[in-house]
């Protein structure tokens, strides 16, 4: 029986390239593709894939929150995180959200296939580089003096921070998230307080360093 896979990534070229390679494997079937977390949740509910290959940083809803919602609603959900960021905190948060594996986008194709086979067999797969980064984070970045962005901010606060880092105005963010401008302003103040950051410029730098968004 073929392994039925849903691909989730906001970059169309990468997504289609991955699909093209995976479709050459006789024991794999690509049953759908999505470009953001909300679409991933909808397609997961409709298609019931065996495995979801999930990007982490995406518009509308990031891969961590999408994985969390999928896992909360389906006990046997199997998600493999795929990211360009080597920060071990991404992998840690994906595993906490319910993922069964985590790879970097620059990994060899055969490693991805190995991860798919491992996860299908109810195993956990982490690439060697990610294991190394997670150990480094455990020793350093996740100390009390330097907390993880994902451990101190709520999912909504992460969304607001990502929008701020992308240069969107308070009004634009409020419209996108369907809330008032006062709510966004309150979120911004809470974010800055939790991260101990006093100005927007440093907040944007923090979001970029954490991999929540890119330049």
Q: Any idea what the CATH number is for the domain that residue 11 is in?
A: 3.40.50.2300
Question: Dihedral of the CA atoms 95, 99, 105, 110 (nearest 10)?
Answer: 120
- Block means of pLDDT (10 residues each) for the chain, 215 residues, are 95 94 95 95 95 91 93 89 83 89 92 94 87 63 54 84 84 91 91 84 76 62
Q: Are residues 70 and 8 in the same domain?
A: yes
Q: Return the pLDDT at 142.
A: 44
Question: Would you put residue 169 in left (φ > 0), alpha (ψ -120 to 50) or beta?
Answer: beta
Find, among 127, 105, 130, the residue nearest to 114 by Cα: 127
Find, among 134, 61, 124, 140, the residue nearest to 92 by Cα: 134
For the chain, give percent helix, strand, coil, nearest 5. 55, 15, 35
- The pLDDT tens digits of the residues spanning 78-120 come to 999 998 887 777 888 898 899 999 999 989 999 999 999 999 9
pTM: 0.67
SS3 185: helix
Q: Are residues 134 and 164 in the same domain?
A: no
Q: Are residues 130 and 41 in the same domain?
A: yes
CB 160, CB 173: distance < 8 Å: yes
Q: Are residues 135 and 157 in the same domain?
A: no
Q: Any idea what the CATH number is for the domain that residue 205 is in?
A: 1.10.10.10
Q: Domain tally for the chain?
A: 2
């Amino acid at each position: 029986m073929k392994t039925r896979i849903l691909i989730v990534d906001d970059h169309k070229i990468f997504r289609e390239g991955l699909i093209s390679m995976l479709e050459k494997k006789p024991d794999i079937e690509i049953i759908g593709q999505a470009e953001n977390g909300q679409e991933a949740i909808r397609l997961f509910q409709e298609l019931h894939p065996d495995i979801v290959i999930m990007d982490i940083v995406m518009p509308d809803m990031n891969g961590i929150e999408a994985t969390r919602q999928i896992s909360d609603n389906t006990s046997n959900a199997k998600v493999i995180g795929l990211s360009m960021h080597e920060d071990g905190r991404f992998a840690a948060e994906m595993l906490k959200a319910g993922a069964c594996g985590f790879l970097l986008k620059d990994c060899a194709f055969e490693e991805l296939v190995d991860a798919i086979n491992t996860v299908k067999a109810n195993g956990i797969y982490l690439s060697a580089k990610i294991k190394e980064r997670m150990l480094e984070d455990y020793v350093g970045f996740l100390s009390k003096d330097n907390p993880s962005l994902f451990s101190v901010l709520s999912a909504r606060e992460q969304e607001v921070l990502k929008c701020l880092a992308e240069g969107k105005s308070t009004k634009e963010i409020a419209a996108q998230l369907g809330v008032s401008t006062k709510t966004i302003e309150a979120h911004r103040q809470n974010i800055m307080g939790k991260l101990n950051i006093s100005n927007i410029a440093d907040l944007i730098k923090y979001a970029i360093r954490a991999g929540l968004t890119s330049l």
